[in-house]
Structure 1
Amino acid sequence: MQGIYQVDPYLLQYRSKVVGHVSDNGKVGVLIEDNIFYPEGGGQPSDRGTLVCARRSYEVVHVEQRPEGIVHWLAGTDAPSAGAGVFMRVDAERRRDHMQQHHGQHIISAVFEQKYGWETIGFHLGEETSTIDLHVKDLSGQVLQEVETEVNRIVMENLPVKVETYQRAALSPELLKRLPPGEEEVRLVIIPGIDENACCGTHPRYTGEVGPVKLLKTEKIRGQVRLHFICGERTVRWMWQTAESLRKLEQAVGASGSEAISRLEKREAALKKLQKERKELLNFKYQYLAEEQWQRALDVGGVLVLMKHFPEADMEMLRGLAAAWCAKPGRLAVLTGGNGPFDVVLARGEGVEIPVNRLAADLWPLCKGKGGGSPDFVQGKAQALPLKEIQKMITEFIGNSSQEPSPT
C-alpha cells in the first residue's frame, strides 16, 4: 500500500492522530495514522518538519520504516500522547530539493544506460551533492558533456512523469531483472520513452521541475566510477558561487576569460620555479648558519653537540639546520624554536652511536613535550623550555652513554 507521500508528494500539510510511540536509546518516536512524511529509503534521506499538537510544536528530525510502522523521531524526549490529534507540516524546501535530486538521478541513469549501456548500481542523495555508481571502469570528459547535454534537454522538454502500480506478473522480463524478489505489487516511476523504474521515492509531475542539472566530477570506487551531480536550486546556487569565484579570480590576475587562465598558469609555473630556487638557497643558508654555530658547540665525550634555541625558527628551519649540522660525522643537534609552544628537533650525524629517540624519551618529561622519530632523527613539541636543565640532562646522558660498554 502506498503512503500519502507517494500518492501526492505535493501535500505538505495534513491532520491525523498519534497511534503509538517507539523508544530507542533515549530517543522518542511517534506512529501516526496517516503519514505524509517520507521515510528514509532507496538512497533518499527522510523528510523533516514539525508536528503541532495542543498549541505545542514538536520537531521531526528523522523518519524511518520499522516493523512497528513509520516512526517519526522527535527532537528531545517529549511527544504528543497516543490518540491526540496532530497537524503535520513537512519541510517544503527539503522535500522539493529531494524530489529534484532523485528525479534528476533517474534521468541521468536512463541516459547512461540508453546511450552507453552502463548500469547504475548505487545512488546516494547527499547534503551537498548526490552520487551514482556506474558499472564502468572509466568515464571521459566528452561523455560527461554529452550526457549532461542530453539530460538537460529531457528536463527542458518538461515531459510528464507518471507513477503507476503494477502486479509483478504484468511486468516485462527485462524490468523484472532489476526488481528484488518477493514484491508482488511494484510502484513504477515512468518518463514515457525515456525511463521506467521501480522506486519508492518522491518525484515531480514533470521533468522540468528538476531544474538545471550539472555533472560535477567522477572518482574511482572499487573498480567502478562514482559520479557527483547536482540538480535544481543546488545548481543555481553552484552557478552563482562559480561566477563569483571566477569574478574574484579575474580581478586577482587582472584579466578575464581564457586570458585569466593563461596568466594563472604562467604564475603557477613561475611560482614552482621560485620554490625550487628557494629550496636550493635555503640549503646554502642552513649550511652557513650551521657552521656559524661551530664555536658555540660543546664537545661531550667526543661528540660535538649543538644545543641552541632559535626564537625565529619554525620546524622547517630547525630540520634544515639539523641536517646541515649533522652532515659532518661526529655531530649531534638538539635545536628548539619559537616562543611557545616550542618546536623541538634532535638529530645525529654519522659515527654518533647515541640514539636520539632514547635521548628524547628523557627530554620530553623535562620540557612537558612529546614527539616521535627514529634513532637518527626526532621532532616534537614542548610546552616548557628550561634550557639550563636541558643542557645538563643532555650532557649527563651523552657522558653516561659514552661510558657504557659497546655491544659485542
Structure 2
Amino acid sequence: MTGIYQVDPYLLQYRTNVKGFIEDQDKTGILFEETIFYPEGGGQPSDRGTLVCDARRTSHEVLHVEQRPEGIVHWIAGSLKPTIGASVLLTVDAERRQDHMQQHHGQHILSAVFERNYGWDTVGFHLGPETSTIDLTVGDISQDVLQEVELEVNRIIMENIPVKTEYYKREDLGQELIKKLPSDQNEVRLVVIPGIDENACCGTHPQRTGEVGPCKILKIEKLRGNIRLSFICGERTIAWMRQTADTLHQLEKAIGASGNEALIRLEKREVELKKLQKERKELLSLKYRYLAKELATEAISSGETSILIQHFSEADMEMLRGVATSWCAQSGRVAVLMGGTGPFDVVMARGSGVATSMNSVAAELWPVLEGKGGGSAELVQGKAQKLPVEQLKEMVASAINRKP
C-alpha cells in the first residue's frame, strides 16, 4: 500500500477503493488500496477524518489509524461499513494534520539544535493533544541554555528553509544514521533541513520550516537520568500567548499595577500575607483555648475523666481539632466534637492520664453515628451522618469507665 501522506502531506482528499476489513471485538477497521491517512507511529498520533461512500451516500468517522501486518487499518465509528471494491472519498481532518506537522517538525528542529550545539541526543518523542515532549540524554539544563535553544530554533523557523524528503538504501547511509535504524529496515526515508538536520522519519512534515510557526519551550523535568522537555509550536503557541496575555492582564488588574510595579506589589502582599497567617494561627490558638475554658461547664464526668461532647454548627475540621487539642491539654480529659450541618465532621481526642484508646471508643460510636474514620489512640477523625448527642454521652462515659 502506498503511503500518499508521505509523498504529499498537503493532499487532504483522495478517492480510492475498499480492499478489505478487520473486525476486532466491537470495532470495525477498513483497508484501502491507497490512503492519505497517517497511521500512528514515531511518536506522532494518527490522522482522523471522514469516509464518504458514493453508492450508499453514507459517511463514516475515522477515529484512529494504525499500521498492522495486513496494512493500514482505518478504525471507524459504528459497525456499518462499505462493501469490498466500493469507491470511497477519504477526507483528512485538516486542522489536526497541520497541527501534527507543526509539532513534529518543530521537534526535529529542537532535537537538531540540542544535538548540534550540545551533543545531547533525543531518545524519546511524544506528540500530545496539548503539549509535546522530547527526552534528552542530559541530567539537567540551565535556563540560559533553554533560552539560547529557543532563540536558535525560532531563528531557523523564521529563515523559512526548504524541507526535503529523500529515500535511500540502508547501505548508502553513514554509520551515524544507520545506528539509529531498526536492524530490519532496508529502505530509509530521510527528512532533511539543509545545513541543520537530516533524520530518518515516517511522519508528515511541511515544505518549509516557516510553516512550523513560533516554538515555545514550556518546562523541563528530570526523568530516569534524562531530561523531559515540554514544548509547543505553531497555532498552539499563538493560543498559549493569547491565554498568557489574558492572564497577565487579569493579574495586573487585580493588583492595580502593571509590569515591574505589579511584581513589587505582589511581593509586598506575599510578605503581608505570611505575617497575617502567622497572626491568625496565634489568634486561633487563643480562641480555641478560650472556647475550651468556657465549655468546661458543659463537660460530664466519668470517674476521674472529664468528657466534653459538643456540636458546633459552623465549625470545620480545623476548629474541631484546635478545640479538642486545647481541651485535652490538661490531664484526664476526653473530647468528642462534631461540626457542620451534615454530613458532620467528627474529632475524638484524649489527654494524658486517659487509658482508653480513642480507636476503641470510635469503633463503638461509628455505627451509632452512621459514620467512619481513622486515626490513633490519641486522636480519631472522620465523618458522620447522625448526631445523637445524649446517647453519645452515655456511650463515651461507659467506654471510658470500662477497663482497657
Q: What's the TM-score bracket when you normalise by the shorter of the two chains?
A: over 0.9
Point out the more displaced range, 336-345 or 71-80: 71-80
**1:340 and 2:309 aligned:** no
Equivalent position to 2:226, from 224, 227, 237: 224
Question: Structure 1: 5+ residue runs without aligned partners?
Answer: none
Counterpart in 1 of 2:281? 279
2:83 and 2:400 map into 1 onto residues whose CA distance is: 76
**1:20 and 2:20 aligned:** yes
Counterpart in 2 of 1:3? 3
Q: Deviations over 1:163-188 (max 9, x none)?
A: 11100000011111222211110111
Counterpart in 1 of 2:129? 127
Counterpart in 1 of 2:208? 206
Point out the more displaced range, 131-140 or 51-60: 51-60
Q: CA deviation at 1:270?
A: 1.1
- Counterparts of residues 79-94 of structure 1 (less than 5 Å): 79-94=81-96
Counterpart in 1 of 2:307? 305
Count of residue pairs the alignment pairs up: 402
Matched residue type, 2:97: R
- Counterparts of residues 19-98 of structure 1 (less than 5 Å): 19-53=19-53, 54-98=56-100
Determine what percentage of the aligned residue pairs are the same residue. Answer: 66
Cα RMSD (Å) of the superposition? 1.2
Point out the more displaced range, 176-185 or 188-197: 176-185
Counterpart in 1 of 2:322? 320
User: What's the secondary structure of 1:293's corresponding residue?
Assistant: helix
2:178 and 2:279 map into 1 onto residues whose CA distance is: 65
Contact 2:356/2:399 (<8 A) preserved: no
TM-score by length of 1: 0.96
Judging changes above 3 Å, is the alpha-carbon distance between structure 1 residues 154 and 365 closer, same or farther for their aligned structure 2 residues? same
1:266 and 1:25 map into 2 onto residues whose CA distance is: 62
Q: CA deviation at 1:2?
A: 5.2
1:81 and 1:355 map into 2 onto residues whose CA distance is: 74
Counterpart in 2 of 1:164? 166
Contact 2:169/2:187 (<8 A) preserved: yes
Point out the more displaced range, 173-182 or 328-337: 173-182
Contact 2:373/2:382 (<8 A) preserved: yes
Matched residue type, 1:149: L
Q: CA deviation at 1:249?
A: 0.8
Matched residue type, 1:49: G
Matched residue type, 2:232: I
Equivalent position to 1:373, from 352, 372, 375: 375
Counterpart in 2 of 1:106? 108
2:159 and 2:134 map into 1 onto residues whose CA distance is: 23
2:133 and 2:377 map into 1 onto residues whose CA distance is: 47
Matched residue type, 2:20: G
1:76 and 1:385 map into 2 onto residues whose CA distance is: 53
Q: Deviations over 1:207-263 (max 9, x none)?
A: 000000000111111121111100000000000001111111111111111111111
2:71 and 2:397 map into 1 onto residues whose CA distance is: 74
2:86 and 2:328 map into 1 onto residues whose CA distance is: 79
2:369 and 2:30 map into 1 onto residues whose CA distance is: 57
Contact 2:114/2:121 (<8 A) preserved: yes
Large movers: runs of 4+ above 3 Å: none
- Counterparts of residues 141-152 of structure 1 (less than 5 Å): 141-152=143-154
2:395 and 2:31 map into 1 onto residues whose CA distance is: 70
2:214 and 2:258 map into 1 onto residues whose CA distance is: 25
Point out the more displaced range, 363-372 or 210-219: 363-372
2:366 and 2:84 map into 1 onto residues whose CA distance is: 62
2:39 and 2:98 map into 1 onto residues whose CA distance is: 15
Q: CA deviation at 1:278?
A: 0.8
- Counterparts of residues 250-261 of structure 1 (less than 5 Å): 250-261=252-263
Q: CA deviation at 1:396?
A: 2.5
2:295 and 2:255 map into 1 onto residues whose CA distance is: 44
Contact 2:2/2:35 (<8 A) preserved: no
User: What's the secondary structure of 1:22's corresponding residue?
Assistant: strand
Contact 2:44/2:100 (<8 A) preserved: yes
Q: Deviations over 1:100-135 (max 9, x none)?
A: 000000000000011111111111101111001111
1:25 and 1:359 map into 2 onto residues whose CA distance is: 54
Q: CA deviation at 1:89?
A: 0.8
Q: CA deviation at 1:393?
A: 2.4
Q: Deviations over 1:289-321 (max 9, x none)?
A: 111111111111322111000001001111111
User: What's the secondary structure of 2:292's corresponding residue?
Assistant: helix
Q: CA deviation at 1:398?
A: 2.3
Q: CA deviation at 1:78?
A: 2.3
User: What's the secondary structure of 2:34's corresponding residue?
Assistant: coil
1:50 and 1:395 map into 2 onto residues whose CA distance is: 72
Counterpart in 2 of 1:360? 362
Point out the more displaced range, 386-395 or 266-275: 386-395
Counterpart in 2 of 1:289? 291
User: What's the secondary structure of 2:20's corresponding residue?
Assistant: strand
